[in-house]
Structure 1
């Protein structure tokens, strides 16, 4: 007998816009995001807070997409980047991704960028913000 992996518990009614129930009811829907239990989310956030390089960040983005279906795009904001708040985070539309998780992941990455500003500089450089004209 095979046991199913634990799924994330539902958010309190009216507290989230994750559309978890619609995801579970849809036939053939990608339910990988529901494998991100609160305990696993804490492990993910801890890992994101301890990033060592831009390559490490990009590898984590790829793994989040492959394992959970989370599409996360990180780029400098439209205005001037004076702090880590100027770096923008955008998630692909994904039913089942909790509102709190959508807030916690960028916060963890910002903490990592504050600890290691060289990652932020490399991110900015990757978007040609430090190019010489």
Structure 2
């Protein structure tokens, strides 16, 4: 017997801009993002908070794209980077990605970078910002 995978519960009407209903109605739409249930989101956030290296972070980015279709870019902002807030974490436009999730993922990444600042230094170095240091 084939059972449908669990899909994320809809947000209360008028509170989110995820366009979940439009995504479900569109034939052939990529529904991977809707597999991110609240429980799975908590597991993802925990993994992002406990990153150990830049390679680990990049691997999680790749897995988020492969499994959920989330395109996430992490780079130093164009202004000075004085704290983890200076790291730009941007999402590609994606229907179905909840507003709260769009806020929670960057917050979890920043907490992980604060716990392991050497990862932030590697990120800066990867973008050639520390070449003169």
Whether TM exceeds 0.5 here: the answer is yes
Give deviations 1:66-112, integer Å, cap 9, x for gaps: 00000000010111000000000110110000000000000000000
How far did residue 2 of structure 1 move?
Answer: 0.8
User: In the aligned structure 1, how far is the partner of 2:75 from the partner of 2:48?
Assistant: 16
3-state SS in 1 of match to 2:88: strand
3-state SS in 2 of match to 1:45: helix
How far did residue 126 of structure 1 move?
Answer: 0.4
Gaps of 5+ in 2: none
Aligned alpha-carbon RMSD (Å): 0.9
User: In the aligned structure 2, how far is the partner of 1:78 from the partner of 1:132?
Assistant: 17
How far did residue 120 of structure 1 move?
Answer: 0.2
Matched, 1:78 2:89: no
User: In the aligned structure 2, how far is the partner of 1:61 from the partner of 1:51?
Assistant: 11
User: In the aligned structure 1, how far is the partner of 2:94 from the partner of 2:83?
Assistant: 28
Gaps of 5+ in 1: none
Q: Which runs of 4+ in 1 moved over 3 A?
A: none
- Counting only pairs closer than 5 Å after superposition, residues 26-65 of structure 1 correspond to structure 2 as 26-65=26-65
User: In the aligned structure 2, how far is the partner of 1:94 from the partner of 1:6?
Assistant: 19
3-state SS in 2 of match to 1:121: helix
Number of residue-to-residue matches in the alignment: 133
TM-score (norm 1): 0.98
User: In the aligned structure 1, how far is the partner of 2:73 from the partner of 2:15?
Assistant: 25
TM-score (norm 2): 0.98
